Structure 1
Amino acid sequence: MEQLLFLVIFYLLPTLISSIHNSTTGGCAIIRPPRDGGIRYRGLTQEQIRSVQILPVDYEIEYICRGSRIIVGPKVRKCLHNGTWTDMNQISRCLLVCPRSWMSLENGRVALLPPGQPVEGTVLHYNCHAGFLLEGFNISHCTKLGKWDSPKPFCFYDSNYTGKKKLYIGALFPMSGGWPGGQACLPAAQMALDLVNNRTDILPDYELELIHYDSMCDPGEATKLLYDLLYTEPIKIVLMPGCSSVSTLVAEAARMWNLIVFSYGSSSPALSNRQRFPTFFRTHPSATLHNPTRVRLFQKWGWTKIATIQQTTEVFTSTLDDLEERVKEAGIEISVRQSFLTDPAVAVKNLKRQDARIIVGLFYETEARKVFCEVFKEKLYGKKYVWFLIGWYADNWFKIKDPAINCTVENMTEAVEGHVTTEIVMLNPETVRGASNLTSQEFLAQLMSRLGGKNPEETGGFQEAPLAYDAVWALALALNRTVAPLRAKGWALEDFNYNNKEITAEIYRALNTSSFEGVSGHVVFDAQGSRMAWTLIEQLQGGSYKKIGYYDSTKGNLSWYGNDKWIGLGPPADQTKVIEEFRYLSQKLFVSVSVFAGLGILLGIVCLSFNIYNSSVRYIQNSQPYLNNMTAVGCVLALAAVFPLGIDGLHIQRSQFPVVCQFRLWLLGLGFSLAYGSMFTKIWWVHTVFTKKDEKKEKRKHLEPWKLYATVAVLLAIDVLSLLIWQIMDPLHITVEKFTKEAPKEDLDVLIQPLLEHCSSEKMNTWLGVVYGYKGLLLLLGIFLAYETKSISTEKINDHRAVGMAIYNVAVLCMITAPVTMILSSQQDASFAFASLAIIFSVYITLVVLFVPKIRRLITRGEWQSEQQDTLKTGSSTNNNDEEKSRQLERENRELQKIIQEKEERVTELRNQLAQRQALRSRRRPSVPNQNQNHSVPSSHAEPPSYSPATDKQSLPPSFSNSSDLYQGEGKLSRNNCHNSRLPLLYK
């Protein structure tokens, strides 16, 4: 019975659990145990554990570890109603415990992080009491193997202990690299430490000691050195990095160890960020302090356009971003912005190509030599250029031999001459004694003594040495002010460790309120921890730097000495002066073309007057004089458009130019519609009448003039409507086209900017496409109609062939001129000449072809001769006799067609009779077998009975007698054998 019950439970339990999970109460999925551990399931056997997937709500599991490992994190988890286990945001791990003997230190202190069991990830910080020195590593880590990663250190007695407690400053001095500022800054800092330690009124119970390394101004090297400073004894209370790239790395990491970072040589604006660098201070002002001075100088010399070139590091990028904001506020434009990583050749070439004149350079000293070697090669120096550089380079930086460049010292000296530097005032110009009881000149004398007589120009960081000196004094004074507040709280400076935020906060407050006189001037920090100072302005004159002024950015006060020198007559222009010069039409060309246009207008008026005066003459009437009048008027309007085509800014004011543009458009449009439209109407009517069938042709030969005038009116209305829509929706206005700048022949710092005025609109190409498309179709259709009607003669319009010739000329000239003028639009003389001459030639040809023959006819033959004739051939046209002969031939042709049809019917009838007769013969001779089988069909030339050829011949017209044989082949009548003079088919 018990076994049966067990089997039932064993097989039904998974189903029950699954149903529980699917019910409204829910359940939790089994989770994995931690590594090197397991899970104790309460109330379940091993077999049940293997088969169960879901555990019910409120079920508890317990983690267990193997061997000597212990649980770190939640040990028991409970299934919740939402299907999850408790504390799932906390990881449970089975870890080995490191020996606890490392957690105590004789004559010293041990800090455990995080508090709790010494398991994997635990860190121990060791610190010896005063008078004892630590032997070994000051930090030890517990590994996953349950062992510490370093031997246990110990504290031994310091035989040199004087009773003063030591405070250690970890410093990174760049002795080499992009800025070898440690060469002078390290001796200056050591000099300050000696003076501080000898003072009885400053930190009397403490002694400051400097632990320093060479960072080479390299963030990668600085990372390794920072690790050594943090993880080797003794504990450092403050860190002192040098260049900006290293300070960025150190200051961002230092807050994790609650360390104050105090820099003496960092100028990066990015370091002025309290969220990113909460414990950072510096005696070197931010590089952005140069920017107000630069902007003030730009304004002083009247420059509104500058260029920049920078090395791609954070310090220079941040400085340039700040400069861009400041110059924008001042109304100054950065026209060119170039950057480089290691090789500035391409960037310098781009500056030259884009005509940069006033150039701000932001880069380290070694890169500065590379830049100016390229500047010499590109000739980007001299009287046209001004370079603004950083002022903290060594004074002879351009004379130092550098294997990375291939320029001589003479080349470099020539290239850098005249450049301007802005530099933070790093040495107090006044003779005052500050906190160190030294004047600035006394400080320089002692520093020179420590340098052993080295040339200051060849010593890196000599200019920044006062900042390093004052940085040590600022730290000492701040630490001295923290002694009393810390003592009141039961703390001391020697109690500092990397976990003590209280001591760090006191040091921060003391530094933030610092204010004293140093050898570099008054030392005070802003809210971002940056030094506030004046800016020194210098210029390289004759190979050496000369002071030309000071600028106080806090008050906006510029102190100017007035000793600045320039290679030219004065400060150069910020850009090549561009003189705008309009291109105008050649006046000789305009006058010449205008004369021809004027003569053409006179010719048009003469032709119009002649046509009106002789409108009653029959010959003139048959040429549709009203249409010819329209042609003459259109020609006059087209010629009148030549004058506004040649008018430009030389003749009228700019405000009047849109009116001229409209005159051009309307005169050309209306002139074309009247002149070409009237000719097109004539040729259209001729083609319509004489290409129809005979019965329709006869009906339409009666000419109704009003239809011709209506056609011209429609064409004119289309043009007027389209021009009105164009003028209302997108009116023409003046636009100015700019061409490539040209250099004058004289050696002047100017360029000529050629300009050309155009008549244009917003959608000019669209409108031109519509107009050209419509006019082009009319021209093509006109050519086609003229070709189709070239051999037609009519008395209603006796000059249609002359019209066709005029249409040919107009169409060809227009279709060539339209695209060519668009291509030549930027060449005012060529464009005007091509367009105006095309108009003149078209008009002259039209007037001469249409009117001159009429004038000549009336003059030579007289008016009465025109009345005796129906039509008069113009050019190559035929006379009235030819037209009458044509009508007679048509009538004769119709008569001959009737005769041919009758003869064809007679031939058909004779064939039928011949076939019947042959059938009768075949029935009469049936008894002759197979005889003449091949000849059973009679010859096709056999004549039927009662047929007489002469009879038919007598019935034919005389032209069909003699040799005109009406039978060919099978006796078909051939039309081609008719005499040519009598039977031509006169169809057209």
Structure 2
Amino acid sequence: MHGADSRDTTDTYIIHVVKLLIQTLITPKQCDPGEATKLLYDLLYTEPIKIVLMPGCSSVSTLVAEAARMWNLIVFSYGSSSPALSNRQRFPTFFRTHPSATLHNPTRVHLFQKWNWNKIATIQQTTEVFTSTLDDLEQRVKEAGIEISVRQSFLTDPAVAVKNLKRQDARIIVGLFYETEARKVYKEKLYGKKYVWFLIGWYADNWFKIKDPSINCTMEQMTEAVEGHVTTEIVMLNPETVRGASNLTSQEFLAQLMSRLGGKNPEETGGFQEAPLAYDAVWALALALNKTVAPLRAKGRRLEDFNYNNQDITAEIYRALNTSSFEGVSGHVVFDAQGSRMAWTLIEQLQGGSYKKIGYYDSTKGNLSWYRNDKWIGGDPPRDQTVVLEEVRFLSQKLFVSVSVFAGLGIILGIVCLTFNIYNSNIRYIQNSQPYLNNITVVGCVLALAAVFPLGIDGLHVHRSRFPVVCQLRLWLLGLGFSLAYGSMFTKIWWVHTVFTKKEEKKEKRRHLEPWKLYATVGVLLAIDVLSLMIWQIVDPLRLTLETFTKEDPKGDLDFLIQPVLEHCSSEKMNTWLGVVYGYKGLLLLLGIFLAYETKSISTEKINDHRAVGMAIYNVAVLCMITAPVTMILSSQQDASFAFASLAIVFSVYITLVVLFVPKMRRLIMRGEWQSEQQDTLKTGSSTNNNDEEKSRQLERENRELQKIIQEACLSMSFCMSILLDYAHVLWWQKEERVTELRNQLAERQALRARKPASCQNQNQNHSVPPLASSEPPGYSPGTEQHSVPPSFSNNSTLYQGEGKLSRNHCHNSRLPLLYK
């Protein structure tokens, strides 16, 4: 239709639509679905027949639009923004001049990217419009590479949800809720220079100034709380001076609207912001109805023929609305395939208690018109999250340098002791202290002192990629140093204990322990450590680990937190490995203490410094047993841990070197033994010095062989002597028997002579044999038959030993002189 008739017809349709609109808005509870249901029933069953319904709120539009298709009614909304209403299968006859709430999301994402925010949080009221909007936002930010760190929701009370946002350090917060709940959210005091809220733009401009009995906040407090928040809203008033279908510019429309309000404050007038959308909605519907006149006339029908069972007229109205395109007071009016308005987005910020336009965004073209008048507390947009700055706790360099100086001096002392020991190795006093073992002790002490330097090296000196090398260096230097230093001292004290605390018959066998056995003992201890360390590093190598501490809040900066960290050398099963190593070393230390105590009263020239070795073992054992657990407890305190461990190493080494070598130096210097020994060495020649030890060992072997031969000869002589003594004993008894027989014969003759007359006795005296000597045989006693054995042939004589009493003890080697001195 054209000309005046067209204008009149359109005006007629507009008047009819406005009447319907007024009927829809008569209820004071326009966003109550229950009231909307009752009103819909009244409209459907009250004359005249309605051709179009125009609800306002999304909750009402959802109910009305889903039911309207049953009566073939077109539903046209001016204030519904729920994304769910874009579902054509559920709402096939729904149109709206208010764009979908999802149209805000491209604008929000663009602002996030503009202000370099990669982490946001959301809080929503649990209604369909906000849930569907948030689902769309979540999909869009995910595509843009932005993270939603926290997503909270609430039904009526947002207190718990806001507390969760605080707990999760939410900074950039998108809030989707009605203005009443918005006041409750700000009551929870989640605001300030480090927070930015994105709210819905269709609140009343003074929503935060409205007195709410449920909120104990003054208007000044609420104004302070909401300062700086950003809103996105569909452009509801065309910013350009363009005359559209209504022959009015946006400013002329606004002036007429203000005159109709009669001086009322627009901020206190509900629906004031949506007025241009409602005006354009009426015009869109009128133009669509006007567009259907010709097609319906061609079919012999009119709009007045519409009833709730007529689908043809509804289809023509749907087609006319779907192809609508005109300039309205809210801007260019056009609908997408889902019946939603395509429009620009207005970006505003609350500055000084009032909203200021800071830009526009055209989502169809992705263009942002920016005014550069955004203001922030502190001057710049806040960060999207608290920036955690890692602060490595480094070792105090003064402490490191001080301990390193002592360690360096200890290494020099070790070199001096090693040089002294090697230079004077030909002196008998030094030789009797097992100088090679002392040299091993010095080397171990130097390695242990060298371990102090990597113990103090941290990220301040080397890059983290090379830190595992430092970890390996610490472990190997300290492990090998302990094995060599303590192992050599342990070997000495063990040898002394083995030789001088055993029974007499076993001592001889152990007294001649060759030096290679001592070195082999040290080698075994060293091999055990090397093997265990190799297995450790192959199976579970040491690597850099970071120990984190409680975050610290720097003064005057709300966007940063300090995260203290401490670098450690560790592995996955560190405690297991340390338990094995500490257990093995602990047993060695305890055994060393026991052996040192057992040998404290022994004096020997073979190892003349074993008492000093015992003192060194006491020192090392006590310091190690204290240091190991204390350093584990103080592992989180880098200065204390390093000081305790390094000083324990330094003191152990210093005491060991001083105890072992200072007495030797003092003796050689004070007594001058080194001079006489050196003069003897010059006379005998250097070749003799080199072969003395070998000759000594050879003479010892020859001496032991000769002792065995002498013992065997002694046994043979004892056996022969026993045979000779037995033969002499037999001869002596034969002699005794003969003497007894002669005595008996003499007694008989004397008896016969006594019976003859005296004359015969006198006569016979001149011719008789001279009487036997009156001397009696040794051991003869008249009147007794017992005769004593001469002392020289007594069984108790030392010259006589029975077979049963012969033993090797009567040829004891203590009675045999050694063949060499």
TM-score (norm: length of structure 1): 0.61
State whether residues 711 and 808 of structure 2, in contact with CA within 8 Å, keep that contact through their aligned partners in structure 1: no
Q: Following the alignment from structure 2 to structure 1, what is the Cα–Cα distance between the partners of residues 671 and 274? A: 112
Seen in structure 2, the aligned counterparts of structure 1 residues 670 and 909 have a Cα distance that, compared at 3 Å, is farther
CA contact (8 A) 2:382 2:559 kept: no
Q: Deviations over 1:897-927 (max 9, x none)?
A: 9999999999999999999999999999999
SS at structure 2 position matched to 1:869: helix
8 Å Cα contact 2:187-2:215 kept in structure 1: no
CA RMSD after TM alignment: 13.3
**Contact 2:449–2:650 at 8 Å: present in 1 too?**
yes
Tell whether the 8 Å contact from 2:707 to 2:813 is kept in structure 1 after alignment: no
> Does the aligned pair in 2 maintain the 1:966–1:973 contact within 8 Å?
no
Q: Deviations over 1:146-175 (max 9, x none)?
A: xxxxxxxxxxxx99999xxxxxxxxxxxxx
Q: Give the CA deviation at 1:463.
A: 0.6
2:657 alignment partner in structure 1:
847
1:904 aligned to 2:732? no
Cα distance in 2, alignment partners of residues 938 and 815 from structure 1: 104
The 3 A distance-change label for structure 1 pair 323 and 984 is farther
The Cα shift of 1:270 comes to 3.4
Worse overlay, 413-422 or 863-872: 863-872
Alpha-carbon distance in structure 1 between the residues aligned to 2:745 and 2:481:
74
Deviation per CA, 1:438-476, whole angstroms, max 9, x where unpaired?
433343344445544432100122111222232333334
Moved more, 445-454 or 406-415: 445-454
For the Cα contact (< 8 Å) 1:243–1:266, is it kept in 2?
A: yes
* Farther off after superposition, 464-473 or 255-264: 255-264
Report whether the alignment pairs 1:870 with 2:680: yes
Quick one: distance in 2 between partners of 1:528 and 1:910? 166
Can you list the C-alpha shifts for 1:288-333, whole angstroms capped at 9, x where unaligned?
2222222323333344444433333332233333333333444444
Kindly tell me: are residues 444 and 675 of structure 1, through their superposed partners in 2, closer, same or farther at Cα, counting changes over 3 Å?
A: same
Larger C-alpha radius of gyration, 1 or 2? 2
Shift of the 765–398 alpha-carbon distance from structure 1 to 2, 3 Å rule, reads same
Whole-Å separation in 2 of the counterparts to 1:323 and 1:671: 64
Task: Note the alpha carbon deviations across 1:489-546, whole angstroms, 9 max, x for none.
Answer: 7877667666666655554443333222222211212223221100112222222222
Check conservation: 2:94, 2:339, Cα contact below 8 A. Answer: yes
Where 1:752 maps in the other structure, the secondary structure is strand
- Displacement of 1:436 after TM fit? 3.6
Match of 2:369 among 541, 554, 559: 559
Unmatched tracts of structure 2, length 5 or more: 17-29, 713-734
Deviations 1:334-378 (A, max 9, x none): 4444433323334444444554443332221111122xxxx7766
Question: For each residue in 1:80-128, what CA deviation from the matched residue of structure 2 results, as whole angstroms up to 9, or x when unmatched?
Answer: xxxxxxxxxxxxxxxxxxxxxxxxxxxxxxxxxxxxxxxxxxxxxxxxx
After superposition, the Cα gap between the structure-2 partners of 1:844 and 1:425, relative to the gap in structure 1 and judged at 3 Å, is: same
Deviation at 1:823, TM superposition (A): 3.3
Residue deviations 1:673-722, cap 9 Å, x none? Answer: 21122233334445556676765555334313323322322332333334
SS in 1 for 2:116: coil
Paired residue for 2:726? Answer: none
Alignment length, in residue pairs? 779
Aligned twin of 2:491:
681
Distance 1:865 1:554, change over 3 A: same
CA contact (8 A) 1:293 1:553 kept: yes
Name the counterpart of 1:366: 180
- Asked if the contact 1:964/1:978 (under 8 Å) is kept, the reply is no
Is contact 1:959-1:979 (8 Å) kept? no
Cα drift, residue 730 of structure 1: 4.8
Provide closer, same or farther for how the CA distance between residues 938 and 544 of structure 1 changes in structure 2, counting only shifts above 3 A: farther
Q: Measure the CA separation in 1 of the matches of 2:298 and 2:622.
A: 107
Q: CA deviation at 1:618?
A: 4.0
Question: 1:928 — aligned with what?
Answer: 760
Name the counterpart of 2:120. 306
TM-score for both structures, normalised by structure 2:
0.72
Describe the SS at the equivalent of 1:673.
Answer: helix
Q: SS in structure 2 opposite 1:791?
A: coil
Do residues 951 (structure 1) and 784 (structure 2) align?
A: yes
Distance 1:651 1:226, change over 3 A: same
Distance change >3 Å, CA 252–CA 619, structure 1 → 2:
farther
Tell me if 1:161 matches 2:8.
Answer: yes
CA contact (8 A) 1:577 1:750 kept: yes
Secondary structure of 2:552's partner?
A: coil
Cα deviation for residue 237 of structure 1 reads 4.6
Preserved contact between residue 201 and residue 232 of structure 2 (Cα < 8 Å): yes
What corresponds to 2:82 in structure 1?
268
Q: Does structure 2 conserve the Cα–Cα contact (< 8 Å) formed by 1:244 and 1:265?
A: yes
Contact 2:779 2:789 in 1 (8 A): no
Is 2:194–2:558's contact at 8 Å kept on the other side of the alignment? no
Displacement of 1:640 in angstroms is 0.9
Contact 2:631 2:645 in 1 (8 A): yes
Partners of 1:718 and 1:971 lie apart in 2 by 53
CA deviation digits over 1:561-585, x for unaligned, max 9?
A: 2333334334344445555443322
Task: Label 1:229 to 1:611 Cα distance change in 2 as closer, same or farther (>3 A).
Answer: farther
Query: Is the 1:959–1:982 Cα contact (8 Å) retained in structure 2?
Result: no
Distance 2:574 2:759 in 1: 99
Q: In terms of mean alpha carbon deviation, does 818-827 or 781-790 score higher? A: 781-790
Mapped contact 2:348–2:359 kept (Cα < 8 A): yes
Question: Retained in 1: the 8 A contact 2:779–2:787?
Answer: no
Residues 859-889 of structure 1 deviation map (CA, whole Å, 9 limit, x = unaligned): 4556499999999999999999999999999
Highest relative contact order (Cα 8 Å, sep 6+), 1 or 2?
A: 2
Q: Which moved more, 1:796-805 or 1:455-464?
A: 796-805
Cα distance in 1 for partners of 2:755, 2:689 equals 67
Contact 1:238 1:261 in 2 (8 A): yes
Assess if the C-alpha contact under 8 Å between 1:336 and 1:354 holds in 2: yes
C-alpha deviation, 1:835, in angstroms: 1.4
Q: Aligned to 2:304, which of 471, 487, 494?
A: 494
Cα displacement (A) at 1:976: 27
Distance in 2 of aligned mates of 1:369 and 1:679: 80
Deviation at 1:981, TM superposition (A): 23
221-230 or 437-446, which moves further after superposition?
221-230
**Contact 1:288 / 1:322 at 8 angstroms: preserved in 2?**
yes
Query: In structure 2, how many angstroms separate the alpha carbons of the residues matched to 1:496 and 1:920?
Result: 199
Match of 2:583 in 1: 773
- The Cα of 1:586 is off from its aligned counterpart by 1.5
**Does the residue aligned with 2:686 lie in a helix, a strand or coil?**
coil
Q: Deviations over 1:29-53 (max 9, x none)?
A: xxxxxxxxxxxxxxxxxxxxxxxxx
Shift of 1:983: 27
Report if the CA contact (8 A) 2:236-2:274 is conserved. yes
1:939-980 Cα deviation digits (max 9, x unpaired): 999999999999999999999999999999999999999999
d(CA) in 1 for partners of 2:764, 2:84:
129
Residues 601 and 636 in structure 1, CA contact (< 8 A), matched pair in contact too = yes
Shift of 1:437: 3.8
Partner SS for 1:537:
strand
1:42-88 Cα deviation digits (max 9, x unpaired)? xxxxxxxxxxxxxxxxxxxxxxxxxxxxxxxxxxxxxxxxxxxxxxx
1:219-276 deviation line (CA, Å, top 9, x unaligned): 4555565566667787655443333334344445555665544332222333333344
- 2:738 and 2:379 map into 1 onto residues whose CA distance is 118
Residues 895 and 715 from structure 1, CA distance in 2 versus in 1: closer, same or farther, beyond 3 angstroms? closer
Equivalent in the alignment of 2:509: 699
Partners of 2:166 and 2:356 in 1: CA distance = 28
Does structure 1 retain, via aligned residues, the 8 Å contact 2:73–2:314?
A: yes
The one-character-per-residue Cα deviations of 1:385-439 (angstroms, maximum 9, x if unpaired) are 4332221111111111111111111111222223222211011223333334443
Q: Is the 8 A contact 2:779 2:788 kept in 1?
A: no
Contact 1:678 1:712 in 2 (8 A): yes
SS at match of 1:539: strand
- Deviation of 1:627 after TM superposition, in Å, equals 2.1
Contact 2:424 2:674 (C-alpha < 8 Å) held by counterparts: no
* The 10-residue stretch of structure 1 (789-798 or 599-608) with the greater mean CA deviation from structure 2: 789-798
Inter-CA distance 979–352: structure 2 relative to 1 (3 Å threshold): farther
Q: For 1:467-478, what aligned pairs fall within 5 Å after superposition?
A: 467-478=277-288
Paired residue secondary structure (2:683)? coil
1:938–1:327 distance in 2 versus 1, CA, 3 Å: farther
Contact 2:779 2:790 in 1 (8 A): no
Residues 1:746 and 1:384: Cα distance change in structure 2 (over 3 Å): closer
Determine if contact 1:241/1:263 at 8 Å carries over to the other structure: yes
Distance 2:753 2:689 in 1: 64
Structure 1 residue 758, shift from structure 2 partner: 3.3
Larger CA deviation: 425-434 vs 502-511: 502-511
